[in-house]
């Protein structure tokens, strides 16, 4: 898979931190963060509303209680 990193996938990203710490399955970063942020609810809400999603909200908008 050719990676096209989302511009928000950096040291400030809760999803990147969770993945780097082994708390989040690779499928999440592959599908959203390494795909330019395509279809990412977190990215959409931030860019359109200025809303920073809590760390436990996954890219598809679901809640992962283990990340709280």
* Cα–Cα distance, 39 to 42 (Å, whole number): 9
pLDDT at 2: 80
Cα of first residue to Cα of last residue in the chain, in angstroms, is 30
**What pTM was computed for the model?**
0.91
Contacts of 64 by beta carbon, 8 Å cutoff, 6+ apart? 24, 56, 57, 58
Q: Along the 68 residues of the chain, how does pLDDT read in single tens digits?
A: 689 999 999 999 999 999 999 999 999 999 999 999 999 999 999 999 999 999 999 999 999 999 99
Q: State the pLDDT at residue 1.
A: 62
């Amino acid at each position: 898979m050719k990676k096209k990193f989302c511009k928000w996938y950096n040291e400030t990203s809760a999803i990147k931190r969770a993945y780097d710490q082994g708390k989040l399955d690779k499928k999440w970063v592959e599908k959203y963060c390494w795909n330019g942020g395509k279809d990412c609810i977190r990215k959409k809400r931030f860019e359109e509303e200025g809303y920073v999603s809590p760390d436990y909200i996954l890219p598809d908008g679901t809640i992962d209680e283990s990340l709280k």
